A = this chain, B = another copy of it.
């Protein structure tokens, strides 16, 4: 007998749960790509996706996954041999830096390890040291999907400004857009990338680059640009096929339209608050479980934790043991360890991740909390008792007080 035989819940940090109406919208015949509904929907997506990004700037859409967006953003921003400064806080910053290197850029890194966010002071210092302004771009992830750290983008902008450095500021929001608050223009971001399959709740296959006037203007001379990645025509197309440099991703467009409608109907502030509150429920449970036994947050300070994914360490291979048992027995799949220890090592298998991005509600979260609690006992993993009670207690405050993850409103750089 298995207790998994019901509606399976894939709680990984992307692809996230796809709402039924999104799948429904995608189940249709191939549409006319010359005129009519598809063209109108595509036009309409642009302003709405800018709203979600918090920008009045430009946007290019791609048939691509997130790795492609790394290439799309770099090839439009800088030229062969240019130097970029990448602030590393986990796997995905490393990945973007690697793409930069392979594209022929000179890559300087500031590595903040896997357990902490970017320190704006160090960034400022590095930029001040670059007195000749050879650094053309500062790159970072907003949230690193592997470590679940969330960087303070506004503070990084302030550091760049404080150093008086002209580099464009590029941020990877793949794991955060539509989950964690992000305000592109207000925070002074020049280039931002995100993909369809996380906070945007649509299957993998589409990606987006938003960019400021400055980035657009300075990037015109970028010589890494290739026809497919060139954001120029995509941002200011004349025909539908120019949005996507050829055949558009017809079915994704319909799905994305539905997803964007759901986000705007709920309201961005509400979407962010929902993510913050549900993350808070997880953290309350984890705080309780971690009060005894080995379970630890990868990011100690809640002010620096993503609201979309939480990376945990159980130690001693127990992360994988837990994941396997949960999938087999209780009907959920959690995220694997990424970037901790050698692949296959005990250290690596000690980590696991919970995705809590996009189309999630309290029931889904509380079910995971209960399932993890069940697995601790079933697998004889020492833990503090009452994580589920703590999560319920945290959520029960809805309506009676502000719903902000508790540790976050006690100072912290995010204010």
A-side interface residues toward B, CB under 8 Å?
A: 1-10, 12, 14-20, 23-24, 26-34, 63-68, 70-71, 75, 98-99, 102-103, 195, 197, 203-205, 226-228, 244-252, 262, 266, 269-271, 273-274, 277-278, 327, 329-333, 336, 359-371, 373-378, 385-386, 388-389, 391-393, 395-400, 403
Say whether A361 contacts B249, CB under 8 Å.
no
Looking across the interface, which residue of chain B has its beta carbon closest to that of A265? B5
Say whether B378 contacts A30, CB under 8 Å.
no
The complex places the Cα of A391 from the Cα of B367 at a distance, in Å, of 11
**20 A–B contacts from the bound complex (CB under 8 Å):** A1-B269, A1-B273, A1-B274, A3-B277, A3-B361, A5-B270, A6-B360, A7-B360, A9-B363, A26-B27, A26-B251, A30-B203, A32-B333, A34-B336, A63-B63, A204-B248, A363-B370, A367-B370, A370-B388, A378-B397
Contact with A226, one of B31, B226, B271, B360 (Cβ below 8 angstroms): B226
- Nearest CB of chain B from residue A390's CB, rounded to whole Å: 10
Contact with A3, one of B4, B23, B227, B395 (Cβ below 8 angstroms): B395
Contact with A15, one of B24, B30, B75, B332 (Cβ below 8 angstroms): B30
Centre residue among A16, A68, A360 by max chain B CB count within 10 A: A68
Given the complex, which residues of B lie within 8 Å of A392, measured CB to CB? Answer: 370-371, 373-374, 377, 388
Say whether A363 contacts B247, CB under 8 Å.
no
The complex places the Cα of A2 from the Cα of B228 at a distance, in Å, of 40
Say whether A71 contacts B244, CB under 8 Å.
no
Contact with A396, one of B103, B362, B374 (Cβ below 8 angstroms): B374
Say whether A204 contacts B249, CB under 8 Å.
yes
Say whether B65 contacts A266, CB under 8 Å.
no
Q: How many copies does the complex hold?
A: 4
> Known pairs A26-B251, A204-B250, A330-B395. 12 more at Cβ < 8 A?
A8-B29, A10-B32, A24-B27, A27-B27, A64-B228, A102-B226, A203-B251, A203-B252, A331-B363, A362-B370, A367-B370, A388-B392
Say whether A375 contacts B388, CB under 8 Å.
no
Given the complex, which residues of B lie within 8 Å of A32, measured CB to CB? Answer: 10, 12, 327, 333
- Nearest CB of chain B from residue A33's CB, rounded to whole Å: 7
The complex places the Cα of A249 from the Cα of B204 at a distance, in Å, of 5
Say whether A361 contacts B24, CB under 8 Å.
no
Say whether B361 contacts A377, CB under 8 Å.
no
Centre residue among A227, A266, A362 by max chain B CB count within 10 A: A362
Looking across the interface, which residue of chain B has its beta carbon closest to that of A103? B226
Contact A63/B204 with A71-B228, A266-B5 known, Cβ cut-off 8 Å: yes
Contact A67/B378 with A362-B4, A370-B366, A388-B392 known, Cβ cut-off 8 Å: no
The complex places the Cα of A195 from the Cα of B248 at a distance, in Å, of 12
Q: Which 10 A-B pairs have the closest CB atoms?
A: A367-B367, A366-B370, A6-B361, A331-B361, A377-B396, A67-B246, A388-B388, A330-B362, A3-B362, A15-B30
